[in-house]
Chain A
Amino acid sequence: MLNSVYELEKAALDIRKQLLSLCNKEVIHIGGDLSITDIMTVLWQYQMKYNPENTKDEKRDRFVLSKGHASAVTSFNQAAIGCFKAEDVIKEYATDQGRFSMHSCNLVNPFVEVSTGSLGHGLPIACGMAAALRLKGNTTSRVYTVMGDGEQSEGSIWEAVANAKRYQLGNLVAIVDYNGLEADGFLDEITGLGNIAEKYRTFGWNVKEFDGNDITVIKQNFDSLPPADSMIPTVFVCHTVKGKGVSFMENQMRWHAGKINDEQLEECIFHLDKAFERRWNKC
């Protein structure tokens, strides 16, 4: 487990570089992978109780990737904690019978709790898992689920939002990657969703709204989560930038999914390294 902001930011840098290396080889959902890289890094490499040696440990935290297309950023974080090697992800991604692909699949990858891909499913399933933990008397494990912002248009999400409050699932932590862009364009132009945080608040959830690309803030919010045996579900509405860290991808609809060439890869990594060095005064 990593502890310091420096270590976590360094880890997030590594994840971004791995994502871009993969993006140089295959088409991946790079925009949404990059927007939640910081959240996923803190979640997997700091926050979650998860032992790759014992994936069925009753005391583990559960993770459901509701925005299933962010499989690459999930896999690289799982690689970082020892589930497999990052090179395996790059080597096997989108190959026949490979463990890694456009969406996460439990049939080939035992570190995937729930196979996902179709939107609006993760939160409802996570509710059932959280209720099951309560029924089993498990008062310490949490269920984390990461959703997209466009995904909030699915009616099944709001069925589950009401349900989670009704069953007092304080062991449930939902995270919304609020990058403002969906496949067809800007969220505000496509849907009438309006203020997402306010909607969760109206349903009686514990709502935290913050910068989802600021590791210091992300860590603070995980640190101040109510205990797993509390009675109110929590949502993190994380304001993020789609394509975060790569200037030509940031806030660009066309980088929802895509592939980069060798030159772009070199340029991206150069700038990511530079930014990191500048931030930590290592130049």
Chain B
Amino acid sequence: MLNKGKETVSYLRNVMGAYMTELGKRDEKVVVVNADLSGTCRNTDFCKAYPERAFNTGIAEQNMISFAAGLAHEGFIPYTFSMAPFLTMRACEQCRTDVAYANLSVRLMGVYAGVSGGISGATHWALEDCGIMCAIPGMVVLEPSDAVQAKKMLDATLQYNGPIYIRSSVEPVKDIYDENCQFEVGSSTVLREGNDGTFLCSGVIVQYALEAAEIIRKQVGAEIRVVDMYSIKPIDENAIVSACMTGNIIVAQDHNIIGGLGSMVATVIAETGNGVKFRILGINDKFEAMAHANYLYRLNGIDTNGLVQSMLNMLRSN
């Protein structure tokens, strides 16, 4: 299941944008709706291959989502693409009222997840998107960590009945999985076994957690589990309850520390009555000036070194 031996990276935006042509070939109900970012979201191949199924509303995200809802009412499966902050905040009410209330199979594709928009600055960062979308009844929230998984995720969107939000980073991600990787809404993948502590992560941070777990093993001999929590809602409760048995849980995501994967995990831990040392890492509830994503990950302690230090501190506090 895991991609061993190769040290390659992918850009999820390119992979997912290009894969839309494949989905369009498989199902003629697939349509793409853009709001003047078809190039940025890498939909140009789809637009060329299926011009009659490619719509562009211009810079009008609210209309993009409502228009897609109208297409879905008539039986199509619209994939709406924009930068995650515009999609989830400018068009928030349309996502909720026009799409989710009607339980329509609209796919909300938010690129520029977290601070991956980097030097574009906070206007182009999605620090709140998971919190917003998770709070919408019936909305599925997903985040791929690698290219193969992203395609499996998109495959699943052809079958799933109901709204789905997929956030994806524009930072490069390591190729983690091989073609046998499994994807299921509401599940997760254990990427590395371990019983001394657990990293629960999603998206771009998963690769850092894998590196951190290896460093920790070398430094102190502790075996840290790494779980890819690609389904943020519904969340894999069993994976969380199991992680509690390791005694130390660190959740890390490129999202504000409030409202993201960490909040979803915390709820499960509290509701299941498990006692465990627990910490949420992410963007520390503060706007920063524009900077590269890697700098921001370091600043907020969600790069490899930050994860190592946080886990070592937790292990030492035993």
The answer to whether B60 and A163 have CB atoms under 8 Å apart is yes
Closest beta carbon of chain B to A65's beta carbon, Å: 14
The answer to whether B94 and A121 have CB atoms under 8 Å apart is yes
**Further pairs besides A121-B97, A125-B69: 7, Cβ < 8 Å:** A118-B97, A121-B94, A125-B70, A128-B78, A129-B73, A130-B70, A160-B63
23 contacts between A and B (CB under 8 A): A114-B98, A114-B102, A121-B97, A121-B98, A124-B66, A124-B94, A125-B98, A127-B63, A127-B67, A128-B67, A128-B78, A131-B55, A131-B67, A131-B70, A131-B71, A132-B76, A156-B63, A156-B66, A159-B57, A159-B62, A163-B57, A163-B60, A167-B55
Chain B minimum-CB-distance residue to A129:
B70
Closest beta carbon of chain A to B217's beta carbon, Å: 52
Q: Does A155 contact B (CB under 8 A)?
A: yes
How many angstroms from the CA of A153 to the CA of B268 in the assembled complex?
Answer: 43
Q: Does B52 contact A (CB under 8 A)?
A: yes
Q: Does A279 contact B (CB under 8 A)?
A: no
How many angstroms from the CA of A52 to the CA of B75 in the assembled complex?
Answer: 20
How many angstroms from the CA of A43 to the CA of B67 in the assembled complex?
Answer: 23
The answer to whether B93 and A118 have CB atoms under 8 Å apart is yes
- Number of residues of chain B lying within 8 A (CB) of chain A: 27
For residues 145 through 167 of chain B, which have their beta carbon under 8 Å from a beta carbon of chain A?
none
6 A-B pairs closest in CB distance:
A128-B70, A124-B66, A132-B74, A159-B63, A159-B60, A128-B67
How many angstroms from the CA of A131 to the CA of B72 in the assembled complex?
Answer: 11
Chain A minimum-CB-distance residue to B52:
A135
Residues of chain B within 8 A (CB-CB) of A106 are 102
Residues of chain B within 8 A (CB-CB) of A47 are none
The answer to whether B58 and A155 have CB atoms under 8 Å apart is no
How many angstroms from the CA of A128 to the CA of B80 in the assembled complex?
Answer: 13
Closest beta carbon of chain B to A228's beta carbon, Å: 15
Counting chain A CB atoms within 10 Å of each CB, the highest count among B58, B70, B71 belongs to B70
The answer to whether B60 and A114 have CB atoms under 8 Å apart is no
For residues 41 through 96 of chain B, which have their beta carbon under 8 Å from a beta carbon of chain A?
52-53, 55, 57-58, 60, 62-63, 66-76, 78, 93-94
The answer to whether A125 and B57 have CB atoms under 8 Å apart is no
Contact of B53 among A115, A120, A135 (CB under 8 A): A135
How many angstroms from the CA of A132 to the CA of B70 in the assembled complex?
Answer: 7
Residues of chain B within 8 A (CB-CB) of A176 are none
Residues of chain B within 8 A (CB-CB) of A167 are 55
How many angstroms from the CA of A121 to the CA of B47 in the assembled complex?
Answer: 26
On A, residues with C-beta under 8 Å from B are 106, 113-115, 117-118, 120-121, 124-133, 135-136, 155-156, 159-160, 162-163, 166-167
Q: Does B200 contact A (CB under 8 A)?
A: no
How many angstroms from the CA of A106 to the CA of B100 in the assembled complex?
Answer: 12
Closest beta carbon of chain A to B42's beta carbon, Å: 23
How many angstroms from the CA of A62 to the CA of B206 in the assembled complex?
Answer: 47
Closest beta carbon of chain A to B313's beta carbon, Å: 47
Q: Does B109 contact A (CB under 8 A)?
A: no
Given contacts A115-B101, A163-B57, contact A156 B69 (CB under 8 A): no
How many angstroms from the CA of A167 to the CA of B57 in the assembled complex?
Answer: 9
The answer to whether A160 and B66 have CB atoms under 8 Å apart is yes
Q: Does B173 contact A (CB under 8 A)?
A: no
How many angstroms from the CA of A68 to the CA of B144 in the assembled complex?
Answer: 38
How many angstroms from the CA of A125 to the CA of B57 in the assembled complex?
Answer: 12
The answer to whether A128 and B71 have CB atoms under 8 Å apart is yes
Q: Does B232 contact A (CB under 8 A)?
A: no
The answer to whether A163 and B67 have CB atoms under 8 Å apart is yes
Residues of chain A within 8 A (CB-CB) of B94 are 121, 124, 156
How many angstroms from the CA of A162 to the CA of B101 in the assembled complex?
Answer: 26
Q: Does B210 contact A (CB under 8 A)?
A: no
How many angstroms from the CA of A125 to the CA of B64 in the assembled complex?
Answer: 9
Given contacts A133-B74, A135-B76, contact A128 B62 (CB under 8 A): no
Given contacts A115-B102, A132-B76, A135-B53, contact A163 B70 (CB under 8 A): no
Q: Does B31 contact A (CB under 8 A)?
A: yes
Residues of chain B within 8 A (CB-CB) of A120 are 62
Residues of chain B within 8 A (CB-CB) of A156 are 60, 62-63, 66, 94
Chain A minimum-CB-distance residue to B96:
A118
Counting chain B CB atoms within 10 Å of each CB, the highest count among A120, A125, A163 belongs to A125
How many angstroms from the CA of A156 to the CA of B58 in the assembled complex?
Answer: 12
Given contacts A163-B58, A163-B60, contact A125 B101 (CB under 8 A): no
Residues of chain A within 8 A (CB-CB) of B69 are 114, 125, 128
